[in-house]
Amino acid sequence: MNASFSPALPWSATSIHPTGEQWQVLKSPARAKLVQALAGTGKTTTLCMKACSLLKGLGPDARVLMLAYSRAGVTAIRDRMSQLQSGLSPQQLEVLTVEQLSEQVLKDQGDPVHRLKDPLRRRFLILQAQQALRQERQPGADGQFSAWLGREVDIDAFLAFEALAKKRLLDQQFEDSGLGLVGFCEDQDLDPELYRLYRRYERMRVGMNHEPQFYADGDCSFELCRQLSLLDWDQPFEWLQSRYAAVLFDELHDLDEAALLVLRKLVQSDNGVFVGAGDFNQHIHEGAFSVFGESLARIKSCLPEDTEVLQINTTRRFGAEICAALNPLFGLAFGHTAERSDAFVRLHYDNDEHCAQQLVELHRQIVQGWRDVQGAKGQHSALNVVLRNPQDSILLEWVFGHEGVHYSCQDLSPFYLRKELALALVWMWVLLGPEAQSTPLLTPGMVAAAVEGRLHLGRSSARADAADPDVLAQGQFDEAGWTDLPGARESQSLALSLHGDPARLRRYLELGSLDPNAAHPSALWTDLLALPPQVLDDAGALCRHPLLRRLVDEAPITAQERRACQDSLDSLARLARHIPVAEFLGRLTLIATQSIALHQARELVSLRLLSINACKGREFTFVAVPFVERGRFPGPSSHQEAYLERNRLYVAMTRARAALWVLESAARPVSPGPV
Ligand SMILES: Nc1ncnc2c1ncn2[C@@H]1O[C@H](COP(=O)(O)OP(=O)(O)OP(=O)(O)O)[C@@H](O)[C@H]1O
């Protein structure tokens, strides 16, 4: 049944009528429904239609909650709502992530919610928790643990553990298990050292009286779950009681135990009907579990008995060609409607430069021809390039920048504004000495990013082991030695005072401050600034200079960030190979100033570079997915996690409405699949 479901639709966009499959979801009388559907089949649109039709039938005071797992999911809901031209006000419709909802509830309870966003401060606190553990260890007890405590903890590993522990509500499972910590960790295949550290860190974060000192991302949901877990299984929660007339949950594929608990209480607390929708193939977050397949029974046990499960397989986003390419690659059965015409093109590349050149050609075709093919709708469509790795944008920006293309980056900064790269560029400019005066000035934005980079990479971090042992022994963090980084505005005004003044910049790089009494010169920076003029002959070689590598190696950052910084410097080095520093910086500054000028002239972007997270839940007329190569995209992963990489590729390849280009390595292709 493809007919419209009502002569008077509760939204204004007349082109959108529910399809037969969507109609089943909208009309089902069940109090709770789960919708299992493939990409582009209209999950988000159907939830939005449901919100409109519900609100039409309810009074002006009714509120509907639409939840998404990610911020991109929230953006996608807002996009679909505007496609429907629903005319709903924010008072009627709340669109939130689970974390944002939890923060709202905590604030309603009158609790102060101090957010912790600075990753360096987080690292500092984790190291203090480790220090506190060291303090209380009896010498000789548990040799392996003592040896582990003697080393500095891998912060990335800790953060990953913490996120998993909170998403899976691990402490509760531990208590229920009746096992000792080591036995429990063996049973669950967890690292017992990290678990001990996690427990200590959490105790210090929330204190004896359970008054959390700060909330990092995910902590609001975790705190709300703690409160909910004190209630009986089916007891409603007063702060969620009758808050909404309906709860609609998108991106159900990324549900975790904590979000499931919030969801169960929302449903039990008299919040009207519930509809959740998801696609197992888009499940890309670690620690989440798909509610489909074997886990379906799990989520159903948290919902009313008559919960109905429905399927939608006909995609409304793309047509027969893209479906025919995706089905064998991912082992799926996408259906399509006759009215959609689309194109799928697979290209092969021999190396990165070849891949970039093919993208330039594609972009040219889009600007000159494809837009006309798409008629008025395609006139302003950009080429959207989805990237698995942020460092892959560096070559593309350089190549497109030289072509004078107006591009934008989403969930990525232009490469010359990334802290570590801007710092390297400003350092090179200062090394030019008097020659700097005749080289085009780097932009103020680049200098501001370099200032942040100098503070971020070069900050002699307050030492965790300098914390007051008495404070740690009381189960508290000692933040006396901590100074916050200056905010963005301060770095910008500092950068303005340095811009164009090589002598001041040199002094700033060496001291990390403009106040000569406040800081000591850094020996490493003194060496970096004393390199001989010959190094200026090859900017590529300078990017690989061992002293610059040392700066990154010694920075108080996580191993993951360190690898990303080194990869970015390698990519920069490849661009700059055999180019003298003055020429390289001149060309780069031209790209940056041109981009600013195009932006100021409000020129429409014709190229967009996006991360996978940024494109989740969204769609674009023209999409290219480059650097598809086994071990790169999909990236390397353990056997158990290989599906996450497969799903990332699936998300990237299901965003196109009119045309999808996949640029695959000739040497290590992914097709014919299955991935
Ligand atoms: N009944 C319909 N009539 C016309 N267009 C529709 C209909 N349903 C969905 N669409 C369109 O199909 C496209 C995909 O819809 P939507 O984004 O809601 O799918 P989705 O399943 O949520 O996608 P994803 O899996 O990527 O999150 C959108 O452009 C939407 O406007």
Least confidently predicted of 102-106, 121-125, 159-163 = 121-125
Question: Is residue 651 in some structural domain?
Answer: yes
Q: If you take atom 13 of ligand 1, which residue's CA is the nearest one? A: 317
The pLDDT, as a whole number, for residue 564 is 92
Per-residue three-class SS string for 474-493: CCCCCCCCCCCCCCHHHHHH
Domain boundary among 183, 214, 245: 214
Alpha carbon distance 34, 292 (integer Å): 9
Counts for the chain of helices (H) and strands (E), in that order = 29, 14
The pLDDT, as a whole number, for residue 560 is 82
| 8 A C-beta contact, residue 286 and residue 644 | yes
**Mean pLDDT, rounded, for 398-413:** 95
Q: Retrieve residue 136's tokens.
A: 């209380």
On whether both 163 and 188 belong to a single domain, the answer is yes
Alpha carbon distance 524, 526 (integer Å): 5
Q: If you take atom 29 of ligand 1, which residue's CA is the nearest one? A: 317
What band does 557 get if pLDDT is binned at 50, 70 and 90? confident
Q: Is the previous residue joined to 674 through a cis bond, with omega within 30 degrees of 0?
A: yes
The pLDDT, as a whole number, for residue 37 is 94
On whether both 440 and 538 belong to a single domain, the answer is yes
Alpha carbon distance 479, 61 (integer Å): 46
Consult the annotation and say whether 207 binds a ligand.
Answer: no
The pLDDT, as a whole number, for residue 292 is 59
Nearest ligand 1 atom to the CA of 17 is 1
Alpha carbon distance 623, 264 (integer Å): 38
Residue 555 zone, left/alpha/beta (φ > 0; ψ -120 to 50; rest): beta
The pLDDT, as a whole number, for residue 530 is 97
Alpha carbon distance 472, 478 (integer Å): 7
Question: Is residue 1 in some structural domain?
Answer: no
Nearest to residue 366, comparing CAs of 675, 156, 659?
659
Average pLDDT over the chain, rounded to an integer: 89
Q: What percent of the chain has pLDDT over 70?
A: 92
CA–centroid distance, 523 to ligand 1, in Å, is: 58
* pLDDT greater at residue 464 or residue 613: 613
Least confidently predicted of 192-206, 249-263, 491-505, 657-671 = 491-505
Consult the annotation and say whether 41 binds a ligand.
Answer: yes
Consult the annotation and say whether 37 binds a ligand.
Answer: yes
* Pocket-testing residue among 9, 253, 311, 317, ligand 1, by greatest number of atoms within 8 A of Cβ: 317
What band does 380 get if pLDDT is binned at 50, 70 and 90? low
Sheet holding 620-628, edge to edge: 343-349, 656-665, 620-628, 383-387, 607-611, 407-410
Instruction: Tell me the DSSP string of 332-378.
Output: ---EE-TT---EEEEEEESSHHHHHHHHHHHHHHIIIIIHHHTGGGG
Alpha carbon distance 620, 635 (integer Å): 24
The pLDDT, as a whole number, for residue 273 is 94
Query: Sign of dihedral through CA atoms 161, 563, 409, 619?
Result: negative
What band does 6 get if pLDDT is binned at 50, 70 and 90? very low
**Total domains, the chain:** 4
What band does 519 get if pLDDT is binned at 50, 70 and 90? low
On whether both 442 and 567 belong to a single domain, the answer is yes
The pLDDT, as a whole number, for residue 370 is 60
What band does 1 get if pLDDT is binned at 50, 70 and 90? very low
The pLDDT, as a whole number, for residue 501 is 86
The pLDDT, as a whole number, for residue 329 is 96
The pLDDT, as a whole number, for residue 464 is 57
On whether both 189 and 259 belong to a single domain, the answer is no
Least confidently predicted of 1-5, 50-54, 232-236, 617-621 = 1-5
Consult the annotation and say whether 42 binds a ligand.
Answer: yes
- Cα 286 to Cα 165, 167, 199, 254, 647: the distances in Å are 11, 9, 20, 9, 12
Consult the annotation and say whether 332 binds a ligand.
Answer: no
Domain boundary among 312, 330, 346: 312
3-state SS assignment for residue 479: coil
* CATH number of the domain enclosing 608: 3.40.50.300
Alpha carbon distance 670, 328 (integer Å): 12
CA–centroid distance, 619 to ligand 1, in Å, is: 9
On whether both 247 and 100 belong to a single domain, the answer is yes
Q: Which helix (H) or strand (E) holds 135?
A: helix 119-136
> What are φ and ψ of residue 77, in 5° steps?
-60, -45
Which residue type does 326 have? L
Nearest ligand 1 atom to the CA of 39 is 25
Question: Is residue 221 in some structural domain?
Answer: no
CA–centroid distance, 576 to ligand 1, in Å, is: 43
Question: Is residue 652 in some structural domain?
Answer: yes
Question: Is residue 225 in some structural domain?
Answer: no
Alpha carbon distance 21, 376 (integer Å): 30
Question: Is residue 614 in some structural domain?
Answer: yes
On whether both 424 and 402 belong to a single domain, the answer is no
Domain boundary among 214, 239, 266: 214
Nearest ligand 1 atom to the CA of 250 is 22
Least confidently predicted of 532-536, 556-560, 606-610 = 556-560
Tell me which residue range forms the domain holding 152.
119-214
**Mean pLDDT, rounded, for 57-68:** 89
**Mean pLDDT, rounded, for 515-533:** 86
**Mean pLDDT, rounded, for 175-184:** 95
pLDDT at 287 over 90: no
The pLDDT, as a whole number, for residue 3 is 41
Which residue type does 351 have? N
Q: How crowded is residue 106: how many other Cβ atoms within 10 Å of its Cβ? A: 21
| 8 A C-beta contact, residue 246 and residue 65 | yes
Consult the annotation and say whether 40 binds a ligand.
Answer: yes
Q: Retrieve residue 542's tokens.
A: 């300078």
- Cα 444 to Cα 324, 405, 423: the distances in Å are 49, 21, 13
On whether both 536 and 610 belong to a single domain, the answer is no
On whether both 480 and 556 belong to a single domain, the answer is yes
Question: Is residue 259 in some structural domain?
Answer: yes
CA–centroid distance, 303 to ligand 1, in Å, is: 26
The pLDDT, as a whole number, for residue 455 is 81
Query: Sign of dihedral through CA atoms 431, 434, 435, 438?
Result: positive
CA–centroid distance, 399 to ligand 1, in Å, is: 34
**Mean pLDDT, rounded, for 210-225:** 95
* Pocket-testing residue among 11, 45, 332, 339, ligand 1, by greatest number of atoms within 8 A of Cβ: 45
Q: How far apart are the first and last CA of the chain?
A: 34
Nearest to residue 394, comparing CAs of 422, 424, 414, 364?
414
Q: Which residues line ligand 1 (CB under 6 A)?
A: 16-19, 22, 37, 39-45, 76, 80, 83, 279, 316-317, 617, 619, 654
pLDDT at 168 over 70: yes
Q: What angle do CA 270, 276, 281 make, to 5 degrees?
A: 160
Alpha carbon distance 578, 539 (integer Å): 7
Q: If you take atom 8 of ligand 1, which residue's CA is the nearest one? A: 42
Q: If you take atom 4 of ligand 1, which residue's CA is the nearest one? A: 16
The pLDDT, as a whole number, for residue 437 is 74
Question: Residues for the chain: how many in total?
Answer: 675
pLDDT at 352 over 80: yes
Q: Which helix (H) or strand (E) holds 184?
A: helix 181-188
| 8 A C-beta contact, residue 337 and residue 316 | yes
pLDDT at 518 over 70: no
pLDDT at 138 over 70: no
Nearest ligand 1 atom to the CA of 47 is 18
Task: Report CA Rg, the chain.
Answer: 27
Nearest to residue 417, comparing CAs of 599, 285, 577?
599
The pLDDT, as a whole number, for residue 408 is 95
**Mean pLDDT, rounded, for 277-301:** 79
On whether both 447 and 326 belong to a single domain, the answer is no
Q: Retrieve residue 185's tokens.
A: 């960790």
What band does 469 get if pLDDT is binned at 50, 70 and 90? confident
CA–centroid distance, 568 to ligand 1, in Å, is: 36
On whether both 138 and 100 belong to a single domain, the answer is no
On whether both 492 and 558 belong to a single domain, the answer is yes
Alpha carbon distance 481, 236 (integer Å): 44
* pLDDT greater at residue 486 or residue 433: 433
On whether both 286 and 375 belong to a single domain, the answer is no
Q: If you take atom 2 of ligand 1, which residue's CA is the nearest one? A: 16
pLDDT at 110 over 60: yes
Question: Is residue 9 in some structural domain?
Answer: no
